[in-house]
Structure 1
Amino acid sequence: MDYSEEVVTNLGFSRLASSSPRLARFRDELADDPSAAVTSLLADAEAAQGPIVEPSADAHPGNEFLVTFVHVDDVDHVELNTQALMLSVPRQSEPMIREPGTNVWTLVVRVASGITTAYRYQVDPPSLGGTTDDMIAKLSDPEQYNAFAAAYARSIRPDRHNPRRVHDSMSGSSEPLNCVLVMPGAPDTLAEGDLEGKIEEHALPSGRRVDVYQPAKSGEDFPLVVMLDGEYCRSGRILEHLDAAIAAGQVPPVRVVLWHNLSPTSRMVEMACNPALPTALANELFPWLDHRDELPPVEQRVLAGFSYGGLATAFVIMHRPDLFGSAMPISASFFYTPDPATEPGEWLARQVTPGNSAQARWFLAVGQLEDTVIGLPGLEPGATMVSGVRHFRDVLVTAGADVTDLLEYPSGHEMFTVRAALERGLPALLGASPIP
């Protein structure tokens, strides 16, 4: 068999490669001494603390690398789940290759320099369906969602060689199960701060949970940041990262309210350009904060959200421009349409006017790895999350809105992009010096 470095083209996934220098050597060594070959490969994975990263011979120097993922498991089927694969939704993972006569599973992926992204190995992972519509339906139905989440959690196998771990919000585990791939040239990340004494958990009169974070100094008037999908922000340790950024002087001190969803599936309704969300923020959250003397003037209020929460962020600002002075949609699902049968995608962009968008300041962000085809009816051929965010930015600018920046961060549809957006966006939106 030819294990050259040539890109695999018959599979249709441009990020896959058939081999790498280290994997080619392993395959040659298998013929002479299988046990020694496996021991040597695993020793190299241990030394690399995860996947083995090597230069790509046919790429511009330093721009792209071959990443050899290695997992050992005596099972019948293993897949690699990482946004570095840049698969079109709803696909999340790619089958790995079992090396003949061993329990070693491998896959080689071409990854650009500078990327930070999570990955996990999965044994018999569940499917989100064959289309984006199937995926949205499964994530919207409580019974289907719970079955998927349970199967997803059972399937995860962390990389035993990689100590860099982050939590997986879908798994429901208190243990960090996702491993982190940090490519050469990736931005430095701050150590996480200690939230001891800085966060309180509350229930609004409606029963909705909110978490309130503020820096160590209490009793001060801080700008307010409301973040949607509070439970995902907690599992993604967004506040720990933000606390470290504040301590380092990279982000101004802010009070953060994490707005939790009523259930994992309620967000698919409440955040789908639903007027009930801005009404709840205005009638439930704001009076509660005002009673606590924690509601600053509107120009010092920022609303932030990720994915469907990013779509909801933009909608809230446009539907009730009196509530927040700044908006931070992150990896927003701007492909949304309220009626796919009659309305083309990117419905919200067509609703932008000077009257509903120009009063706020905007900071948008999206991950570079999100440049994969969405594949929903009504969208332009080749439409991606990246193209949708760029289009929405252009529409805002045309309407006269103050768009401070669009950050295209070297990560995917994941919390690394959220962390970077807060670190870069809050200084810009709140009038502090931008980060170089």
Structure 2
Amino acid sequence: MTITSPALAALAGDPAALAEHLSTAGGPLVEPAPENLGSVLVTFVWLGEAERVSIRAGQLFADHLAPSHALDRLPGTDIWHRSTVVRADVTSSYQYIVDEPAAGDLIADAFEALRRQVDCWRADPFNPRRIYPQTGIIAGRLDLPEHQWDSILELPGTEPAPWFTPAGAPAGTLVQRRLTSAALGNERQVTVYRPPSGQGPFPLVVMLDGECWTRVADLPTALDNRIADGSLAPVVVAFVHTPEVADRPGARIRESTCDPALTTMLAEELPPLLAEFDVTTDPARTVLAGNSLTGLAAAFTALHRPEVYGNVLSSSGSFWWGYADHPVAAVLGGKDGEPEWLTRQYAEAPRVPVRFWLDCGVLEAGNVPWIPGVDPRAANRHFRTVLRAKGNQVDYYEAPGGHEFVSFRRNAIRGLCALLPGGQA
């Protein structure tokens, strides 16, 4: 691959100067893209001896379905590089994979293969902005050292979001509880955030995929900061974790794809567990939140139990789901011969008194072969349109990012401040 970055071409002959430039820049090389108005040329660079280097970079490359993208090595050097053109306001994440096992060396067990790959992950040593990788949780490793985390890409037009940096705001407390569900036949952890101040009964937010919101997104820090600056009302947040079963990813898929048993758990078994935290029982001040498949699950639950959950927050909800006659149904299930099953249920049902915050990333648009019928952004737009036609209040936001927590967490804080505003909102 030829060098497309003028900066890399100028510095390639002096690795020490290149390293200094990368350190000063705080990560990849970012340069103008004259032929693409509103975009920049981003060049990812890895320095070091290796047999092969690749990169996981969200949806920053055109072929964003590939699990990773190979970097090219400059002949006679230990400089590895790959460039892409990206909107100048995008926020995303990336991670280098150094000497990952060759495809022929990976064993049949997909999750054991993932655990082996984890050992090859490397954060960008020149970029101090990092986030715990969601795939680290999927792989069953909750204690990855920071040099194996994802690096955060913030481009020149990125909107500042200082809420995830501790700023001396009064801190809420986290309390652990156990929930045994008869409806689902499993057990899980619930991490409850209590605000540092305020008087009950408090608004309640229930967030599915709780371990990701606390470990990956670091949402408690943002809650502290937004409550302190008056943008968000003091709230109790119940982070409901994925069940602790051997087939954890499979259990998440089964529960999240419009399972009535999950609705029963959320509407009948969870509220008694949270009563000790002086939370409201008013559905208008109760939010059910999720991302991706759990965004779908939140909307399904609200359709059937609006007397419990009067607000839904969905970050990049999987509203394309439902097409049973497609190969993807072998993994993700399905309902009938068309996509967007839940959207059609809302269209046909009587209006429910539920307010919605929906967001989706601009990088989620386009043809995605493993998603049948419609791309994620189009599916979110369709769901928004149907809800508004039914008379529901809908806040809809297309974020300059992709399907990942570095974008989800920004959007979720926006959504919470819109649904449960504080006195200074």
Normalising by the residue count of structure 2, what TM-score does the alignment of the two structures yield?
A: 0.85
Which of 120, 135, 145 pairs up with 1:175? 145
**In terms of mean alpha carbon deviation, does 66-75 or 370-379 score higher?**
370-379
Which of 304, 313, 317 pairs up with 1:319? 304
- Whether 1:273 and 2:258 are equivalent positions in the alignment is yes
Partner of 1:397: 388
Partner of 1:260: 241
- Whether 1:374 and 2:368 are equivalent positions in the alignment is yes
Partner of 1:384: 375
- Taking only aligned residues, the RMSD between alpha carbons, in angstroms, comes to 2.5
Instruction: Tell me the distance in 1 between the aligned counterparts of 2:288 and 2:43.
Output: 40
Report SS of the residue matched to 1:363.
Answer: strand
Amino acid at match of 1:203: R
Amino acid at match of 2:239: L
1:242, 1:419 within 8 Å by CA — same for their partners in 2?
no
- Whether 1:159 and 2:124 are equivalent positions in the alignment is yes
Instruction: Tell me the distance in 2 between the aligned counterparts of 1:225 and 1:195.
Output: 19
Partner of 1:410: 400
Residue deviations 1:324-363 (CA, integer Å, cap 9, x gap):
0101111011121162355222111111137455310011
Amino acid at match of 1:55: P
Amino acid at match of 2:318: S
Report SS of the residue matched to 2:134.
Answer: coil
Residue deviations 1:202-238 (CA, integer Å, cap 9, x gap):
1124432101102112652210000000011111212
1:273, 1:312 within 8 Å by CA — same for their partners in 2?
yes
Alignment CA distance shift 1:241-1:91 (3 Å): same
2:323, 2:338 within 8 Å by CA — same for their partners in 1?
no
Instruction: Tell me the distance in 2 between the aligned counterparts of 1:188 and 1:332.
Output: 24
- Whether 1:111 and 2:76 are equivalent positions in the alignment is no
Offset at 1:74? 1.9
2:59, 2:364 within 8 Å by CA — same for their partners in 1?
no
Partner of 2:223: 242
1:331, 1:385 within 8 Å by CA — same for their partners in 2?
yes
Residue deviations 1:229-270 (CA, integer Å, cap 9, x gap):
001111121222222222222222211000111143111110
Alignment of 1:187-198 (within 5 A): 187-190=159-162, 191-193=164-166, 198=173
Report SS of the residue matched to 2:125.
Answer: coil
Offset at 1:279? 0.5
Instruction: Tell me the distance in 1 between the aligned counterparts of 2:101 and 2:66.
Output: 10
1:289, 1:295 within 8 Å by CA — same for their partners in 2?
no
Amino acid at match of 2:365: D
Amino acid at match of 1:416: V
Instruction: Tell me the distance in 2 between the aligned counterparts of 1:98 and 1:286.
Output: 56
Report SS of the residue matched to 2:135.
Answer: coil
Offset at 1:408? 0.9
Alignment CA distance shift 1:246-1:86 (3 Å): farther
Instruction: Tell me the distance in 1 between the aligned counterparts of 2:306 and 2:254.
Output: 21
Alignment CA distance shift 1:220-1:339 (3 Å): same
Alignment CA distance shift 1:205-1:348 (3 Å): closer
Alignment CA distance shift 1:291-1:68 (3 Å): closer
- Unaligned residue ranges in structure 2 (runs of 5+): 182-186, 327-335
Report SS of the residue matched to 2:16.
Answer: helix
Partner of 1:10: none
2:172, 2:224 within 8 Å by CA — same for their partners in 1?
no
1:192, 1:243 within 8 Å by CA — same for their partners in 2?
no
Which of 51, 56, 76 pairs up with 1:81? 56
Offset at 1:167? 0.7
Amino acid at match of 2:396: L
**In terms of mean alpha carbon deviation, does 99-108 or 290-299 score higher?**
290-299
Instruction: Tell me the distance in 1 between the aligned counterparts of 2:397 and 2:424.
Output: 13
Report SS of the residue matched to 2:407.
Answer: helix
Identity percentage of aligned residues: 33
Amino acid at match of 1:424: R
Alignment of 1:20-419 (within 5 A): 20-27=5-12, 30=13, 37-60=14-37, 63-88=38-63, 90-125=65-100, 144=109, 146-171=111-136, 172=141, 173-176=143-146, 177-190=149-162, 191-193=164-166, 198-206=173-181, 207-217=187-197, 220-236=200-216, 237-263=218-244, 264-265=248-249, 266-290=251-275, 292-337=277-322, 339-341=324-326, 342-353=336-347, 355=349, 357-376=351-370, 378-379=372-373, 383-403=374-394, 405-419=395-409
Alignment CA distance shift 1:253-1:150 (3 Å): same
Amino acid at match of 2:231: Q
| Aligned residue pairs, count | 392
Amino acid at match of 1:428: A
Instruction: Tell me the distance in 2 between the aligned counterparts of 1:47 and 1:434.
Output: 37
- Whether 1:428 and 2:418 are equivalent positions in the alignment is yes
Instruction: Tell me the distance in 2 between the aligned counterparts of 1:377 and 1:217.
Output: 44
**In terms of mean alpha carbon deviation, does 197-206 or 272-281 score higher?**
197-206
Offset at 1:97? 0.5
Normalising by the residue count of structure 1, what TM-score does the alignment of the two structures yield?
A: 0.83
1:66, 1:108 within 8 Å by CA — same for their partners in 2?
yes
Offset at 1:90? 3.5
